[in-house]
Amino acid sequence: MESIGVLLACPMNSYLEQQLDKRFKLYRFWTVPDKSSFLASHKDSIQAVVGNAAAGADAELIEALPKLEIVASFSVGLDKIDLTKCKEKGIRVTNTPDVLTEDVADLAIGLMLAVLRKLCESDRYVRSGKWKRGDYVLTTKFTGKKVGIIGLGRIGMAIAKRAEAFSCPISYYSRTEKPEIKYKYYPSVVELAAHCDILVVACPLTKETHHIINREVINAMGPKGVLINIGRGPHVDEPELVSALVERRLGGAGLDVFENEPYVPEELFGLDNVVLLPHVGSGTVETRQAMADLVIGNLEAHFQKKPLLTPVV
Amino acid sequence: MESIGVLMACPMNPYLEQELHKRFTLHRFWKVPDKSTFLTTHCNSIRAVVGNASAGADAQLIEALPKLEIVASFSVGLDKIDLAKCKEKGIRVTNTPDVLTEDVADLAIGLMLAVLRKLCESDRYVRSGKWKKGNYMLTTKFTGKRVGIIGLGRIGMAIAKRAEAFSCPISYHSRTEKTETKYKYYPSVVELAANCDILVVACSLTEETRHIVNRKVIDALGAKGVLINIGRGPHVDEPELVSALVERRIGGAGLDVFEHEPEVPEELFGLDNVVLLPHVGSGTVETRKAMADLVLGNLEAHFLNKPLLTPVV
């Protein structure tokens, strides 16, 4: 398979890069000085694209690669791939579901605890020597807080299971009600927001869910509400969120994703009721290895004409 | 009851202080310039002492207060109270069990997530602008890690229940095996440490459990092991722990308590595998109010000759 051209959209994982380089003819898109010349010269040899949460395969790239057969994403999210165009052209698409579910759910709970109990702030308090001058402020109990989940897929369900162990009543919003689930369903995000203490974004990013957290939802959450985003930055109207946090119209936020990563609004840096993470949801050694193996496995299956492991299209 | 003298050992909670002041003649021990003179002058009017995790009623204080009838602790831990002396003199002792169990268990899980997923470090990474220069390192998955609990009382059980939701196999050590639980018992702390990934201290501090986490236990826990202490600082041989962390002989630690609070060994401040909290285990608005009400309720019950709410002695 060493003659098969694979285009790696951006740096994402050394092990994956190394494995792709061993098995295929690997092109590192980010090292190319002139992307359009590169595409013009190599368009007939590239049969696969490997993308992730940061970069994938938009319509323009797909059009530029007439021999493209498969887009394998090193992520579960598909928002950087033009799925319609892929379907239209018969291009297969794979992602990395399941293997990262637990890590992302763990991080969501970690963010809830970190925001409500001000873990990072208190750690800073100790390291700065302030504890010698007085005790830290009282924070808010996590157990029993009402958790509202937007999107009750694999990750949403894993978050719910964990939160239940803390006696958190669970409610959710999704495109359709899931009658087999015992959690309380709300037919709109605003109603969900009005009836929970902690609102978690756990749905895919699509045109419909862009800015699903908007001013109305933030208002419904109120000054004690806490937003947790482990989805995609564009799920949230970021300027609205920032002003709500700065003006204390919202109680707090735990954010692993932002609209323009790696840029994070600096107005947030001075707040003690936010926890800001550099998109580490699936960022453990164990999980990234499993994700890489899934990408490689899908590519090999495709080029050996075997069934794909985790096809989306 | 306004003539009853109550000695408050140290500042602990404004609401509690205010209520004690309203109902009794409150003496704030930390404001007294000369403690021995004070005790001589007031030894016949003080009938109750209110203590906490920092200060309680040792043999010397008990001997100095011949009219002492009850020691009510604003904590569940009793290590600052000379229980033997209280028993001997027929002095009642109360604490605040149950109301703080969930907060402390929540914090233990928060510490585990914060240490394994480096939450505080990654939050620092974002706020320092480093994310613009590159992604954060990979961390370690929490789900499925083996959790070993020293002390399977109320708090230990609450920690186990939460960790189970993350598919963590649970094992424990306690003075006697608890045949009614399904968790795996180890007859020694060293064996427990050798067979778990995350070791949590959740037992009471007594003469027997002082330095229960010593060099041998730290060695058994090993270079990938993580220690979580939500008990008392003296449970751990702190210098041994510090050198093990600095020399990377142990994987990491999440500590809410220290041997000489509020002093924290500064060698820890430069480490990225520790989370240091200023003894905030029960430090939420909700729980401290519930604890204060329990202290007040116990004192009132005692002086009204009614059954104590949460007696220990």
Active-site residue set of B: 232, 261, 279
In a domain? residue B309: no
Peptide bond into A234 cis (omega under 30): no
Residues B13-23 have a mean pLDDT of 97
With contacts defined as CB-CB under 8 Å, which chain B residues touch A284? 117, 138-141
Euclidean distance between CA atoms A253 and A111, whole angstroms: 8
* pLDDT value of residue A47: 98
Whether residue A139 and residue B285 make contact (CB cut-off 8 A), yes or no, is yes
| A206-218 tens-digit pLDDT | 999 999 999 999 9
* Token pair in block for residue A218: 């933030």
Domain of B68?
5-96+286-303
Same domain, B267 and B231: yes
Q: How far apart are the first and last CA of chain A?
A: 23
Residue B50, pLDDT > 90, answer: yes
| B274-300 tens-digit pLDDT | 999 999 999 999 999 999 999 999 999
* pLDDT value of residue A226: 98
Q: Rounded to 5 degrees, what angle do the CA atoms A30, A207, A93 make?
A: 50
| A20-53 tens-digit pLDDT | 999 999 999 999 999 999 999 999 999 999 999 9
With contacts defined as CB-CB under 8 Å, which chain A residues touch B106? 113, 117, 141-143, 166
* pLDDT value of residue A1: 81
In a domain? residue B312: no
Residues A72-87 have a mean pLDDT of 97
CA-based nearest residue to A224, from A253, A202, A251 = A251
Nearest CB among B103, B135, B142 relative to A278 is that of: B135
Q: Are A169 and A182 in contact (CB under 8 A)?
A: no
* Token pair in block for residue A306: 């075997």
* pLDDT value of residue A2: 84
Whether residue B140 and residue A285 make contact (CB cut-off 8 A), yes or no, is yes
What's the mean pLDDT when you consider all of chain B?
97
ipTM: 0.97
Q: What percentage of chain A carries pLDDT values higher than 90?
A: 99
Euclidean distance between CA atoms B313 and B309, whole angstroms: 12
Residue A127, pLDDT > 90, answer: yes
3-state helix, strand, coil in chain B (%, to 5): 40, 20, 45
Query: Taking CA atoms, what residue in A is nearest to B132?
Result: A262
* pLDDT value of residue B1: 80
pLDDT range class, residue B123, cuts 50, 70, 90:
very high
pTM above 0.80, yes or no: yes
Same domain, B89 and B154: no
Same domain, B184 and B295: no
Same domain, B221 and B257: yes
In a domain? residue B224: yes
Same domain, B108 and B255: yes
Q: Are B291 and B268 in contact (CB under 8 A)?
A: no
* pLDDT value of residue B2: 81
* pLDDT value of residue B96: 97
- Mutate: best of B116, B138, B285, partner A, most A CBs <10 A: B138
Residues B158-167 have a mean pLDDT of 98
Same domain, B112 and B191: yes
Same domain, B155 and B258: yes
What is the b/e burial string over B105-143, where b = at least 16 CB atoms within 10 angstroms of the residue's CB? bbbbbbbbbbbbbbbbbbbbbbbeeebeeebbebbbbbb
* pLDDT value of residue A313: 87
Residue A138, pLDDT > 90, answer: yes
- Total count of domains within chain B: 2
Same domain, B180 and B294: no
In a domain? residue B182: yes
Residues A54-77 have a mean pLDDT of 97
Whether residue A117 and residue B284 make contact (CB cut-off 8 A), yes or no, is yes
Same domain, B36 and B133: no
Same domain, B239 and B299: no
* pLDDT value of residue A133: 97
Same domain, B115 and B176: yes
Residues A271-275 have a mean pLDDT of 97
With contacts defined as CB-CB under 8 Å, which chain A residues touch B284? 117, 138-141
Nearest CB among B132, B162, B277 relative to A119 is that of: B277
For residue B138, give the CATH number of its domain. 3.40.50.720
Same domain, B142 and B209: yes
In a domain? residue B281: no
Concatenating the DSSP letter of every residue in A295-313 gives: HHHHHHHHHTT---SSB--
